Structure 1
């Protein structure tokens, strides 16, 4: 029966004009959570869930109190007051809401509780893999099971725990449960999962890297914090974030010892996961993680498997023959001893009627069984889409080439050898086409000179911006939006100076191309004088105009807000809006400045200098629009992460058959099917073993 809380929630959701799915997305909670609360299936919502729903519905003070009262809770007055005055407290509250919603959705998506969780248990690790009990804070009992993970962690006096296990042993399930259980019990510090595969300890220290990952996944934390740094840095330094470092073994080969040394330079409370061998090798070469206890995940027993797999299907006795073989020992028992392989077996042979469990009895070795499960997973979940295997294989190979497990939209295509050439081609086509369109519309016809000028502009801008794209640092998503009011500071003047230098170079090249185009159609044209005048004029005008644009944009930038951190494509949409807003501000500013600036210079050159200059208001407007639109296109496509995504991932890779045209929809669908998982602003394959298998298959097919 629907509870009073559910009635209120439905009433205010309908008043806001939101569907259940829209409310879930805005509040960063699972759609099943919203549906269950409204229908009364869930009657005990967590404090963080109620607060997130109230914030998403923009309830008034009295309405918030009524909603909390219906949930049998009251919103802490002290916390609310603190959030109004303490920027770190406000950041902690927002981060907690985002983390809780994200990992609750992940558990639902991965069917962790469908029908019941697989039993994940652990025992204390060998003494040589942990520090002395004196440094840890006293000897304690470390054995436990999944629902005791927070309890065991709190027994460790140093609050530093290492969780070791083989491939697919349940480390990811444990970390997500740890985060959800801990965040439900306390508001501060907030447990946050960080994928260590993206960390290079040679380039950044632990705290700096943690802050950078927080800013990537939660752009609002890139805002200014107390002390001059960012909110993310302040949270890390104040230990108001509890790092859950997942995948020590996924750090690049040869860097495990350096990573362990770097971790030992800090005293941060943390939870670290790793495969056993990689951690043991790093310990043997350096030292244990200082003050850390360690546990090792246990294998699933035949009894565990027998109690789980039959509950995943309605077909009575479907798993009997397989379970009998598991009970007898042998390869099948070895393979079905990890949660990963059991989950794959369930997905292939319980959820897919065309693949009966008896197929598992056809394989004689553990390797053959694992290859079968890994190789059959994608075809089983994509029975109607044959191309999915190739597209996923390309993505897996792309990640392998980059040496990472993080599938970031802003890195798609960056593993290509001819990436800069493709970006240059895209810039050239866009700028050349814009030039022909603008000048053709203003003049009324496209003549030989305009066509030649468009081709030359396309060639020059394509080469220049292609080379610039190749030489700039790796492109990252912008973390800012535009606001109406800004204040001038050192960053505004430095950005303006950068714009002057960059615009001056582009203007000189533009003047050269313009003079060459005139000389090609009119051999009597004085080329040397034309090059000198045009290059000088446009270097001055374009440099000053670009400096103005860069300064204006810098002055009105503000950090992205928390609502952009909900998903990988939420961040992409925010970046698209930010780039388009910058172009929308920059193009008219640049066009007006260039039109008026060239007019003034033309008067000076015709008058005191005595040069023969053909200029009219239409000419000035054309120059301004071509320069503004062309410059905006070139900058946006080659020097921003969203532009790179547009050229490579949305055009070139689908054009060459390596990815689908509807790429965002495909990635979201792969997430829904359980092939991918979400980790902040990036996707990851469900397991590293699956990525390795798909990448190897793709390379063989190529």
Structure 2
């Protein structure tokens, strides 16, 4: 039955001329959720969800109030927060003040972006289909937690008892709010549901977030090196990567990301303490203890216990450990995931073994496996979602003599199942068919790449790091030489004919290509840093104070780089011209060329870098919310930079060369360099230099060179890398964590890596 809220929502959406899909895209609320509201299948919308919908439709104040009242009309009163037994403060966990007014709007935008991101991800992972698995927990041993007096912020001399921290997934926020310190450690073995718990925690906390409350943000801890990067600095850097719009200047002159972190406007949800590099767990725990930030930290038990034994517990932190699923949980869940027929489901005979008072060895093995959400998900994928497959084979002790054998089978079956049997529900024009053997090879290659980097984050701009440094330099040089050679051949053919164009392509390709390769090697490879995607968008006619402040430093950087590049390229081209055409003394010709083109290229590059900085504008906070969006945004930025580079650099080089030669005639003798030469040089330099810069020194250019050309050419990845990664995400092999992909689970990545290397 349709609710008053559903009727009003549909009416307002239609008045705005929006489809359900468009409303979902703009609000960040899942399309299934919107459809459920409008049909009455979903009731009791959360206040935060209603606000997201109202913002997306851009409602007037009166209409917004009507929508909120309609939502409240069908909502049961919320229970009061649990009592604190008179101990500790009666404010939010952590006793932090509100977000400053100057940052409140930014925090609200960030909260909407975070909620939309994780709500879509929860739907993609089918976490509530048919219902969430009942992940529960128990308190950790006392040796892993701080004194209860510290956890409860008790006054000196008080000796309060422990808090009741038992609960299940849907009560995680309620349990967290019982902790006055606002610091909670969640331990659990692989596949026990830690990441799902963090997702649910963030969504539920945002649903009731006050406008001036801190924003919970999930941070994967695997990339943190506490020995080199302080916690707040690392949090700021991760925020900038996940939400590029936070790079805009904040109230104090720093970035919005830094301002939010410093003002405690972020509630860090630190996922994966165990994924920090070996040898750094103790340093990480010590670094966390230098701050009293409220936080939620997840880890596998062994790594956290070892860190505690080596240093101390997490100050003021309570702790819980996720418990195994019970056989009743599994028996209640799996049949509802399978197709029903009069005889029951395919799971009924198998689950009868789990119900038995004295299970057979086969039933005991399977029961030991189906104790984590990960294994239950894999079993569901392989048998509930796949017609014609019988889970009774899991009881074959001839094939699966141990629980470990069943786990390996479920992990190994996942990829073949989702690529062979799962239907592709996307439009016909977007469907892709992949050969299973190649898919397993490509995924194994990616898993091995992540293992070598020591990370779980599959970032598209880091795929070039799968190659040796020498291969990267070689690839950059070859592609730059081909691109610049092609441009020079086309331009010089207009002036000197086809033969002259081919000769110019040969000479310039052999001089400029190695120069770009060398610069690429020095700036990118030797520094062992990947080129990061741009955090700005480009707009003309900016002219703000910030833009003017950026112009000088960028001009100076471009001037220095162009001066060195132009002098080196001029020297090499002078030597080659002397050797090939017997044109004067080689060293002298090289020196003259270097003295001419060094200042010219320096001035041109300085102007380009300065004008590019002038056109930069911060991204919206909610933009670039996933890997594909970030890739498209970076491509748009690079194309804009090229459109600015070509005319500015070309005009500066062409007419700058005329000016330098005119000044040099007095002491170097006459030069033959006319207007047609200047136009040809300017056009070739603008196009060639722009392409070389884009391909070698931007994240999108590196993506084109390596991920779209070099890696597919050598068979390491498919030609359609973007489509392949998105398809793997749609099939559930990958998940999205902001701007990066991750494998659905760390154990899946580890298994793919293990198989690939055998």
Which residue of 347, 359, 367 maps to 1:333? 367
Assess, with a 3 A threshold, how the Cα gap between structure 1 residues 437 and 20 changes in structure 2: closer, same or farther.
farther
CA contact (8 A) 1:120 1:170 kept: yes
Secondary structure at the counterpart of residue 464 of structure 2: coil
Rounded Cα–Cα distance in structure 1 between residues aligned with 2:200 and 2:505 = 63
CA contact (8 A) 1:429 1:458 kept: no
Question: Which residue in the other structure is 2:246 paired with?
Answer: 221
CA contact (8 A) 1:456 1:513 kept: no
1:123 aligns with 2:123: no
Tell me the CA shift for residue 678 of structure 1. Answer: 1.3
CA contact (8 A) 1:495 1:551 kept: yes
Secondary structure at the counterpart of residue 657 of structure 1: coil
CA contact (8 A) 1:428 1:461 kept: no
Rounded Cα–Cα distance in structure 2 between residues aligned with 1:398 and 1:10 = 47
1:420 aligns with 2:473: yes
CA RMSD of aligned residues (A): 2.4
1:567 aligns with 2:626: yes
Give 1:638-649 correspondences, 5 Å limit.
638-649=696-707
Tell me the CA shift for residue 399 of structure 1. Answer: 0.6
Give 1:126-525 correspondences, 5 Å limit.
126-137=141-152, 138=160, 139-187=162-210, 188-315=213-340, 316-327=344-355, 328=359, 330-362=364-396, 363-383=400-420, 385=434, 386=436, 387-417=438-468, 418-447=471-500, 449-468=503-522, 469-472=524-527, 473-483=529-539, 484-486=541-543, 487=545, 491-525=550-584
Rounded Cα–Cα distance in structure 2 between residues aligned with 1:662 and 1:692 = 24
Bigger shift: 89-98 or 313-322? 313-322
Rounded Cα–Cα distance in structure 1 between residues aligned with 2:364 and 2:278 = 33
Deviations 1:194-228 (CA, angstroms, capped at 9, x unpaired): 11111111121111111111111111111111222
Tell me the CA shift for residue 117 of structure 1. Answer: 1.2
Assess, with a 3 A threshold, how the Cα gap between structure 1 residues 573 and 505 changes in structure 2: closer, same or farther.
same
CA contact (8 A) 2:136 2:169 kept: yes
CA contact (8 A) 2:473 2:518 kept: no
Rounded Cα–Cα distance in structure 2 between residues aligned with 1:583 and 1:646 = 15
Which residue of 630, 633, 657 maps to 2:715? 657
Rounded Cα–Cα distance in structure 2 between residues aligned with 1:535 and 1:419 = 27
Rounded Cα–Cα distance in structure 2 between residues aligned with 1:663 and 1:494 = 37
Question: Which residue in the other structure is 1:621 paired with?
Answer: 679
Give 1:517-596 correspondences, 5 Å limit.
517-596=576-655
Rounded Cα–Cα distance in structure 1 between residues aligned with 2:562 and 2:280 = 42
Question: Which residue in the other structure is 1:684 paired with?
Answer: 742
Secondary structure at the counterpart of residue 217 of structure 2: strand
Rounded Cα–Cα distance in structure 1 between residues aligned with 2:13 and 2:442 = 39
CA contact (8 A) 2:48 2:208 kept: no
Q: Which runs of 5+ in 2 are unaligned?
A: 74-97, 153-159, 421-432
CA contact (8 A) 2:570 2:593 kept: yes
Tell me the CA shift for residue 609 of structure 1. Answer: 3.4
Question: Which residue in the other structure is 1:674 paired with?
Answer: 732
Assess, with a 3 A threshold, how the Cα gap between structure 1 residues 330 and 52 changes in structure 2: closer, same or farther.
same
Rounded Cα–Cα distance in structure 2 between residues aligned with 1:342 and 1:528 = 73
Secondary structure at the counterpart of residue 757 of structure 2: helix
Rounded Cα–Cα distance in structure 2 between residues aligned with 1:344 and 1:525 = 73
Deviations 1:345-384 (CA, angstroms, capped at 9, x unpaired): 0110111113211111121201111100100011000116
Tell me the CA shift for residue 408 of structure 1. Answer: 1.0
Tell me the CA shift for residue 520 of structure 1. Answer: 4.3
Secondary structure at the counterpart of residue 249 of structure 2: coil
Assess, with a 3 A threshold, how the Cα gap between structure 1 residues 370 and 3 changes in structure 2: closer, same or farther.
same
Assess, with a 3 A threshold, how the Cα gap between structure 1 residues 617 and 52 changes in structure 2: closer, same or farther.
farther
Deviations 1:277-334 (CA, angstroms, capped at 9, x unpaired): 1111111111110000111111111111111111111241421332233342622111
CA contact (8 A) 1:427 1:461 kept: no
Deviations 1:250-302 (CA, angstroms, capped at 9, x unpaired): 11111111111110111000111111111111111111100001111111111
Question: Which residue in the other structure is 1:99 paired with?
Answer: 114
Assess, with a 3 A threshold, how the Cα gap between structure 1 residues 610 and 180 changes in structure 2: closer, same or farther.
closer
Rounded Cα–Cα distance in structure 2 between residues aligned with 1:8 and 1:111 = 28
Tell me the CA shift for residue 645 of structure 1. Answer: 1.4
Assess, with a 3 A threshold, how the Cα gap between structure 1 residues 61 and 623 changes in structure 2: closer, same or farther.
farther
CA contact (8 A) 2:516 2:696 kept: no
Rounded Cα–Cα distance in structure 2 between residues aligned with 1:142 and 1:563 = 35
Secondary structure at the counterpart of residue 466 of structure 2: coil
Rounded Cα–Cα distance in structure 2 between residues aligned with 1:644 and 1:528 = 35
Question: Which residue in the other structure is 2:86 paired with?
Answer: none
Question: Which residue in the other structure is 1:631 paired with?
Answer: 689
Tell me the CA shift for residue 670 of structure 1. Answer: 1.5
Secondary structure at the counterpart of residue 658 of structure 2: helix
Q: Which runs of 5+ in 1 are unaligned?
A: 74-82
Tell me the CA shift for residue 178 of structure 1. Answer: 0.9
Rounded Cα–Cα distance in structure 2 between residues aligned with 1:55 and 1:694 = 43
Secondary structure at the counterpart of residue 535 of structure 1: helix
Deviations 1:454-494 (CA, angstroms, capped at 9, x unpaired): 33235433432342332343321221222321335554322
Assess, with a 3 A threshold, how the Cα gap between structure 1 residues 593 and 58 changes in structure 2: closer, same or farther.
farther
Bigger shift: 382-391 or 262-271? 382-391
Assess, with a 3 A threshold, how the Cα gap between structure 1 residues 8 and 667 changes in structure 2: closer, same or farther.
farther
Tell me the CA shift for residue 536 of structure 1. Answer: 0.7
Rounded Cα–Cα distance in structure 1 between residues aligned with 2:319 and 2:583 = 83
Bigger shift: 611-620 or 489-498? 489-498
1:601 aligns with 2:685: no
Secondary structure at the counterpart of residue 406 of structure 1: coil
Secondary structure at the counterpart of residue 331 of structure 2: helix
Question: Which residue in the other structure is 1:76 paired with?
Answer: none
Rounded Cα–Cα distance in structure 2 between residues aligned with 1:442 and 1:429 = 20
Tell me the CA shift for residue 615 of structure 1. Answer: 1.2
Question: Which residue in the other structure is 2:25 paired with?
Answer: 25
Question: Which residue in the other structure is 2:128 paired with?
Answer: 113
1:90 aligns with 2:124: no
Rounded Cα–Cα distance in structure 2 between residues aligned with 1:416 and 1:280 = 37
CA contact (8 A) 1:28 1:566 kept: no
Tell me the CA shift for residue 562 of structure 1. Answer: 2.1
Rounded Cα–Cα distance in structure 2 between residues aligned with 1:294 and 1:667 = 37
CA contact (8 A) 2:555 2:609 kept: yes
